[in-house]
């Protein structure tokens, strides 16, 4: 198997059964869109905040309902508040979407590999998010803006279905006002109230100003979006060795034992969810793998 320069995954505390969720408290709840909310979770008394790296996820548990794998979307320097942005899609995410401040949500984690920020040092950084792909990238943005001189140009492209589906709307306006990064938003369709771009994230790629020989890209969204965005980045001169994707598969255990999340030889929960595109593109191009 080809060697990979992946960050080593963080595992949960030794000695504790990996199956046991810790009851966190819902501290805040904010509505993002018609079907998406963001909650902040704080640890119970006696449990220190759990550090995480951008790109990792937690298994969030609703008593009596079940668990779902949700990316951590907050600031990694403030793990006392674990932010998760959740779209109501299945039974568990629907239940999580109802979680009111003061209620309890179980947490197992953090799991998985994170975005390779160390490799981004001194480079132009491109973040491309499709739909709910922005939450897993938000910690990267926090990290980079905290340490701005460490990185070259920062180009962010975020695409949603319609303007009403944009998450972190107010925060995006603040990011767009900054001069030390470029934040482009685009939607699939809009009405007269939208003066921004309409079209795919891929259409924004030709205009980004980067040095393709010294750039790194983090992509997150539907697999088809990542595939065509990578293609557009390669057309701009980047190689698949400097493009990273975050994959999603059915997860039950998050520790590489239930077998559900396998993509070829990779356990997405443990060897991913962040992968270097070069290492997984051959598996992504096989139907039903």
Partner 1 sequence: MSDAASVGARYILERAEFPRLLGALRGAGYRVVGPTVRDKAIVYGEIREESDLPIGWTDRQEAGQYRLERRSDAALFGYNVGPQSWKKYLFPSRERLWTAIRKDGSFDVQPEPVDPTPLAFLGVRACELAAMGVSDRVFGKAGDPSYAERRRHVLRIAVQCGQAGGTCFCVSMGTGPAVRTGHDLSLTEVVRPDRHYFLVEVGSEAGATVLSGVPLRPAPEGDVATATALVDRAAASMGRTMDPNGLRDLLVNNPEHPRWEIVARRCLSCTNCTMACPTCFCQTTEEVPDLSDEKVERWRRWDSCFNSGFTSVHGTSVRQTTHSRYRQWLTHKLATWHDQFGESGCVGCGRCITWCPVGIDLTEEVAAIRVVPTPAGPAPTGKGSS
Partner 2 sequence: MTSAPSSDGLRLVDHRFFEGVKGGLPQRLQPLTIERTYELGDMLVREGDIADRFVLIFEGKVALEIVLPDRPRVTIQTLGGGEVLGWSWLLPPPQWWLDARAVKRTRTLEIPAPELRAALDARPEDGYEFLLRLLPVVAQRLDHTRLQLMDLHGG
**106-131 b/e with 16+ CB inside 10 Å = b?**
bbbbbbbbbbbbeebeebbbbbbbbb
By beta-carbon proximity to partner 2, the closer residue of 20 and 235 is 235
Q: Which of 49, 63, 98, 121 binds partner 1 (CB under 8 A)?
A: 63
Residue 259 binding partner per list partner 1, partner 2, none, with a CB distance cut-off of 5 to 8 Å that depends on partner kind: partner 1
Nearest to 5 by CA among 281, 282, 271, 285: 271
Residue 23 binding partner per list partner 1, partner 2, none, with a CB distance cut-off of 5 to 8 Å that depends on partner kind: partner 1
Total chain residues near partner 1 (CB under 8 A):
44
Nearest to 133 by CA among 245, 256, 43: 245
Q: Which of 17, 191, 209, 287 binds partner 2 (CB under 8 A)?
A: 191
Phi, psi of 138 (to 5 degrees): -60, -40
Which 76-95 residues touch partner 1, going by CB under 8 A?
89-90
> Residue 9 in contact with residue 111, Cβ under 8 Å?
yes
Q: Where are the alpha helices (DSSP H) in 81-156?
A: 91-97, 117-120, 138-146
Q: Which of 23, 152, 163, 212 binds partner 1 (CB under 8 A)?
A: 23
Nearest to 142 by CA among 108, 117, 167, 111: 117
The answer to whether 206 contacts partner 1 (rule: CB under 8 A) is no
Residue 196 binding partner per list partner 1, partner 2, none, with a CB distance cut-off of 5 to 8 Å that depends on partner kind: partner 2
Q: Which of 6, 29, 66, 198 binds partner 1 (CB under 8 A)?
A: 66
Interface with partner 1 (CB under 8 A) = 1, 11, 17-21, 23, 25, 44, 63-67, 89-90, 102-104, 106, 231, 248-250, 252-253, 255-260, 262, 264-265, 267, 281-282, 285-289
């Amino acid at each position: 198997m080809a060697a990979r320069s992946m960050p080593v995954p963080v595992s949960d505390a030794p000695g504790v059964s990996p199956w046991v969720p810790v009851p966190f408290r819902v501290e805040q709840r904010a509505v993002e869109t018609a079907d998406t909310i963001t909650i902040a979770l704080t640890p119970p008394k006696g449990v220190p905040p759990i550090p995480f790296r951008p790109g990792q996820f937690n298994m969030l548990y609703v008593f009596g309902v079940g668990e779902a794998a949700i990316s951590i979307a907050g600031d990694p320097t403030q793990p006392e508040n674990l932010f998760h942005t959740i779209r109501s899609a299945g039974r568990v995410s629907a239940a999580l979407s109802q979680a009111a401040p003061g209620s309890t949500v179980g947490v197992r984690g953090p799991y998985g590999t994170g975005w390779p920020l160390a490799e981004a040092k001194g480079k132009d950084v491109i973040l491309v998010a499709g739909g709910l792909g922005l939450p897993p990238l938000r910690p990267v943005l926090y990290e980079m803006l905290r340490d701005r001189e460490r990185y070259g140009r920062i180009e962010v492209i975020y695409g949603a279905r319609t303007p009403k589906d944009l998450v972190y709307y107010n925060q995006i306006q603040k990011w767009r006002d900054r001069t030390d990064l470029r934040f482009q938003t685009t939607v699939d369709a809009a009405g007269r109230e939208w003066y921004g771009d309409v079209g795919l994230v891929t259409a924004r790629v030709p205009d980004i100003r980067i040095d393709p020989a010294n750039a790194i890209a983090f992509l997150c969204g539907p697999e088809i979006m990542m595939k065509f965005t990578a293609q557009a980045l390669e057309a701009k001169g980047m190689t698949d060795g400097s493009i990273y994707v975050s994959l999603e598969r059915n997860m039950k255990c998050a520790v590489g034992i239930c077998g559900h999340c396998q993509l070829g030889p990779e356990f997405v929960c443990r060897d991913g969810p962040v992968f270097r595109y070069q290492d997984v593109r051959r598996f992504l191009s096989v139907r039903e793998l």
